[in-house]
Amino acid sequence: MYSKKLKIKFLQSLIKKLPYSISTVISSLNELTLIVPAQHIYNVVFFLKYHNMCQFKLISDLTAVDFVEKNKRFEVVYNFLSIKYNTRIRIKTHLNELNSVESIVKIHPCANWLEREVWDLYGIFFNNHPDLRRILTDYGFEGHPLRKNFPLNGFTSTRYNDVEKIVVVEPTELMQDFRSFDFESPWKNIE
C-alpha cells in the first residue's frame, strides 16, 4: 500500500501527467477513485497500465450503476489492481442514454466479457468493441434488465398451455405507467 505521503505524491503526479483527463479525485478507505470524462477513459486506462509509477495491469471488475434521477444517469465503474505496488484504483465515468464510452479491450483483453455484460444489462455502448452482443440474456430479448425503468416482470410473459400443449408468449400488461422511486433510506429514522 502507498503511505499517505506517497499517495499524495502519486496523485500530484497523475494530475500533472493527465491534466485534462481527470476531473475529480476521491480518496476513501485507503483507495483512490478518479472521475474521468468518458472521452478520456481509454487514455487514462492505457496510462495506468503501462506507466512505471502505476502498473495497474489487472482489471478486477467493470460494472455500471443506474441513477435514474440524474441527468447523466449511468456511472461506469472500472476497478484495477497493481500487483507490483499492491494497491487498487477505481475509475468512474458518467453517461446518459445517448452517450457511449471507448472500449478498453485493446488494453485489457479480459474486459471483453465485462463490457458485453454492461452492454447487455444496462445498454451502455462501447465504441470499437470487437464483439458487442448479448451475453446473459437471449438474443431476441428486448430492453436492458438492470435499468431502473425496466419493468420488473419484463415485456413478455411465457407460460405453458396444458390444453393445447404449447408454450405461449404474450406481451405483459403493466398495471402502472411507471415506477416511482423513493430514494430515502428506510433506516434513516430508526433509533
What whole-number percentage of the chain has pLDDT above 70?
85
pLDDT digits (tens, 9 = 90+) for 171-189: 776 555 555 656 666 666 5
- Domain limits of the chain? 4-127
- Residue 104: per-residue pLDDT: 97
- Report the distance separating Cα 43 and Cα 45, nearest Å: 6
Sign of CA dihedral 21, 27, 28, 29: positive
pLDDT higher for 69 or 116? 116
Instruction: List the end-to-end C-alpha distance of the chain, in Å, as a whole number.
Output: 37
- Residue 187: per-residue pLDDT: 64
pLDDT digits (tens, 9 = 90+) for 87-108: 899 999 999 999 999 999 999 9
pLDDT digits (tens, 9 = 90+) for 19-68: 888 888 888 877 889 999 999 999 999 999 999 889 999 999 999 999 98
- Residue 31: per-residue pLDDT: 81
Mean pLDDT across 66-84:
94
- Residue 147: per-residue pLDDT: 86
Is residue 76 scored above 90 in pLDDT? yes
* Pair 18, 76: CB distance under 8 Å: no
* Phi, psi angle pair for 40, to nearest 5°: -105, 0
Q: What is the CATH number of domain 4-127?
A: 3.30.460.80
Is residue 148 scored above 90 in pLDDT? no
- Residue 156: per-residue pLDDT: 74
Mean pLDDT across 126-155:
84
- Report the distance separating Cα 139 and Cα 36, nearest Å: 32
Beta strands at 58-66 and 24-28: parallel, antiparallel or unpaired: unpaired
* Pair 135, 120: CB distance under 8 Å: yes
